[in-house]
Amino acid sequence: MAASTTTAVPGARSPLWSVAVPTEHGGWGLTAEPVVLGLLISPSTAGLALGLAALVAFLARTPLRVALVDHRRDRTLPRTRLARQVLAVELAVLVALAGVAVVDAEQVFWWPAAVAAPLVVIELWFDRRSRSRRLVPELAGSVGICSVAAMIVLAGGGDGTVATGAWLILAARATTALPHVRAQIARLHQRPVSARVLVVGDVAALAGAAVAAAIEPTLVPGALAVVAVVVVHRLGTRAPVPPAKVIGLRQMAMGLVVVAVTAAGVHVL
């Protein structure tokens, strides 16, 4: 009998896994941070529903990207049909969670999503052209998903200024983190690094944190946490580059610190 041609290849991903599970490991943390911060500041059932919706939206981006790329190339492959099926299920869950949030929210919470919508469009534009790993779409998507923190705060009845400031704090944290992570990975692979991009990212992060502190005094600790992150990043440009896993763990730790300090400032000050 001839050997089967379906023998699994070690390390190969199943078709469902490849269209349903994100490959951007750092994206999990960047999505979870606004969810956790929003719920720590203003916990509610509506906020929890929005947080779960954000995680589902993060998952849905993977099959959506597959569908967009294949549509642009005018082709329908087995993976295309599978991606559409997964996307349909996730969109149904997303709509259900949004419905729960609308019913249980203490006040209108949708305006941060409207403000962030152009950023999501930018990210999807790059996704459709298979250029999602570039800095612009990564920044646009990260700043956009940070709007979830504001939505959750509002849904729980929180103050609009606090909601806006929380979004700014997390957007600032992402704005400094992404260029530095990309630079460290580039250094690992002995590729050139643009010092100008790092400086612009850090300056933008400091500006965002300053605005957050100016509009809402209780966010001063969070703004200072962002300043500390920028300092750590600047020191990292002169230190030996650690392994990729260590880079990811450090970013996760810094993100959690920013979230915890920001939430504590809101409740204590």
Q: What is the pLDDT of residues 83-126, one digit of tens each?
A: 999 999 999 999 999 999 999 999 999 999 999 999 999 999 99
Residue tagged 């997303």 (tokens):
94
Share of the chain above pLDDT 70, in %: 95
Average pLDDT, the chain: 92
**Nearest alpha-carbon partner for 264 in 251, 208, 256, 205:** 256
Q: Quick check: is 9 in a domain?
A: no
pLDDT at 26 over 80: no
Confidence of residue 138 (pLDDT cuts 50, 70, 90): very high
Question: For 207-265, what is each residue's pLDDT tens digit?
Answer: 999 999 999 999 999 999 999 999 999 999 989 999 999 999 999 999 999 999 999 99
Q: What pLDDT does residue 13 have?
A: 65
Q: Quick check: is 3 in a domain?
A: no
Residue 130 parent element (H or E): none
Residue range(s) defining the domain that contains residue 230: 20-268
Average pLDDT over residues 185-190: 92
Q: Quick check: is 5 in a domain?
A: no
How many domains does the chain contain in total?
Answer: 1
Average pLDDT over residues 159-167: 97
Average pLDDT over residues 125-148: 94
Average pLDDT over residues 13-32: 84
Q: Quick check: is 2 in a domain?
A: no
Q: Cα 72 vs. chain centroid, distance in angstroms?
A: 25
Q: Quick check: is 6 in a domain?
A: no
pLDDT at 9 over 90: no
Q: What pLDDT does residue 122 have?
A: 96
Dihedral sign (CA 63, 66, 68, 74): negative
pTM of the model: 0.92
Q: Quick check: is 66 in a domain?
A: yes
Confidence of residue 174 (pLDDT cuts 50, 70, 90): very high
**216: helix, strand or coil:** coil
Q: Quick check: is 184 in a domain?
A: yes
Q: What pLDDT does residue 24 have?
A: 75
Q: Quick check: is 168 in a domain?
A: yes
The rounded radius of gyration (Å) of the Cα atoms in the chain is 20
Per-residue burial over 231-266, b = 16 or more CB atoms within 10 Å of its CB, e = otherwise: eebeebeeeebeeeeebbebbbebbeebbbbbbebb
Question: For 196-220, what is each residue's pLDDT tens digit?
Answer: 999 999 999 999 999 999 999 999 9
